[in-house]
Amino acid sequence: MSVYDPIHQINMWGEGFKSNGNLSASIPLIDEVDLKFDSSQSEDASHGILGTSNKYDQEASRPIDKIQRRLAQNREAARKSRLRKKAYVQQLESSRLKLVQLEQELERVRQQGMYMAGGLDSNNMCFAGPMNSGIAAFEMEYGHWVDEQNRQISEMRNALNSHISDIELRILVDGMMNHYAEIYRMKSAAAKADVFYVMSGMWKTTAERFFLWIGGFRPSELLKILGPMIEPLTEQQRLDIDNLGQSCQQAEDALSQGMEKLRQTLADSVAAGQFIEGTYIPQMATAMEKLKALVCFVNQADHLRQETLQQMSRILTIRQSARCLLALGEYFQRLRALSSLWSNRPREPA
């Protein structure tokens, strides 16, 4: 804001007249009258000048008043902004406390024998038949895996806040990467026992199943979510991540097309021949052979997910990788919390 003070320039111009020669006796009277007249004019002129000066002073004071009003408005806006920020911080803290309480409640329920962290919600259980030993072992292992992931997330968060050395941070990053490799090994063994169980996501929570793609998350979609969490990035890093996202999208499209083709082939195999009682054994044998390809699709999808994490760790610095893995773990924690909130939401009586 600029304040422009008016510049007043008043120039007084006068001329002195001197008389030469002898003057008559009446001239002094005329001079005296002229002098009085000039004196009155001079006073009027001085009053005019003072009046004009006062008017300019009032005009000059107007911008100052405007500045003061503007400053008062700015102070009021800043005060309201501080209040809004304080309310927002309080809301975030309240949400964090609720999330902590929810996690504690989930842990308490899990210890009581209701395996909610693994996706078997009490309101959403369904069994197609007796659970085989391979799936039962997978569920138990997955429960321990989730507990260990929660511990690693807490450890990684504390490490980033305490600004530990890159060497110490790399140990934590490698530990989390190995932990994700372990879940892919577990899923491969479970898929051999019951591939439908793994692909349907019954071992995950309801919110996680909503985003399911061939037994897990879509790497390309997750890159879009994690991107803002690891800023700032160099131009080369941003270019490499974009190329990685495009490669993931192409691989996902190829796997999805293969799955669709397998689904259609399987449907044709089941529907082959006439629908006559007792004559469906040949069709089932053919369909069973084709179902073996589902295990391969699950393994390929998990390989793509694991390869994406490894490529990200090569593109990013060690601290960026730590933030990326922390954001990834917290993302799945929030999905599990959302599932629990949805399952325990208040319901109107039927």
Whole-model pTM?
0.61
CB 159 within 8 A of CB 168: yes
CB 270 within 8 A of CB 210: no
- Please, is 346 exposed, middle or buried when counting C-beta atoms within 10 Å of its C-beta (0-12, 13-18, 19+)? exposed
Is the pLDDT at 5 greater than 50? The verdict is no
The C-alpha angle 193, 196, 197, rounded to 5 degrees, equals 70
Is the pLDDT at 279 greater than 90? The verdict is no
Q: In whole angstroms, give the CA distance from residue 104 to residue 96.
A: 12
- Provide the pLDDT for residue 238: 92
10 domain-assigned: no
Query: In terms of DSSP H, where are the helices of the chain?
Result: 27-111, 133-162, 166-193, 195-200, 206-210, 219-226, 235-271, 281-315, 318-343
The per-residue b/e assignment along 232-251, b for 16 or more CB within 10 angstroms, e otherwise, is ebeeebeebbeebbebbeeb
Is the pLDDT at 149 greater than 60? The verdict is yes
12 domain-assigned: no
Q: Which of 79-88, 125-134, 167-176 comes out lowest in average pLDDT?
A: 125-134
Domain that holds residue 303: 135-343
Digit-coded pLDDT (tens) for 203-216: 899 999 999 999 99
- Provide the pLDDT for residue 285: 75
Write out the two tokens for 138. Answer: 């997978």
Tell me what the mean pLDDT of segment 124-137 comes to: 58
Is the pLDDT at 26 greater than 60? The verdict is no
16 domain-assigned: no
What percent of the chain lies above the pLDDT cut of 70?
69
Q: Which of 40-44, 117-121, 180-184, 337-341 comes out lowest in average pLDDT?
A: 117-121
Q: Which of 47-61, 238-252, 314-328 comes out lowest in average pLDDT?
A: 47-61
Greater pLDDT, 286 or 172: 172
Is the pLDDT at 315 greater than 60? The verdict is yes
Is the pLDDT at 190 greater than 70? The verdict is yes
Closest residue by Cα to residue 218 from 140, 319, 305: 305
CA distances from 240 to 79, 254, 310 (A): 44, 21, 13
148 domain-assigned: yes
Domain count, the chain: 1
230 domain-assigned: yes
- Provide the pLDDT for residue 110: 54
CB 159 within 8 A of CB 169: yes
Q: Which of 27-31, 57-61, 273-277 comes out lowest in average pLDDT?
A: 27-31
Mean pLDDT of the chain: 77
Greater pLDDT, 193 or 34: 193
Is the pLDDT at 128 greater than 50? The verdict is no
- Provide the pLDDT for residue 65: 81
Write out the two tokens for 39. Answer: 């004196």
- Provide the pLDDT for residue 344: 85
Closest residue by Cα to residue 319 from 151, 181, 167: 167
- Provide the pLDDT for residue 338: 92
36 domain-assigned: no
319 domain-assigned: yes
Is the pLDDT at 92 greater than 80? The verdict is no
pLDDT band of residue 168 (cuts 50, 70, 90) is very high
**Peptide linkage before 232 cis (omega within 30 of 0):** yes
Count of beta carbons in the 10 Å neighbourhood of residue 26:
8
Write out the two tokens for 290. Answer: 């084709």
pLDDT band of residue 21 (cuts 50, 70, 90) is very low
- Provide the pLDDT for residue 276: 57
- Please, is 119 exposed, middle or buried when counting C-beta atoms within 10 Å of its C-beta (0-12, 13-18, 19+)? buried
Closest residue by Cα to residue 329 from 92, 214, 110, 160: 160
74 domain-assigned: no
Q: In whole angstroms, give the CA distance from residue 171 to residue 149.
A: 15
- Provide the pLDDT for residue 115: 38
pLDDT band of residue 111 (cuts 50, 70, 90) is low
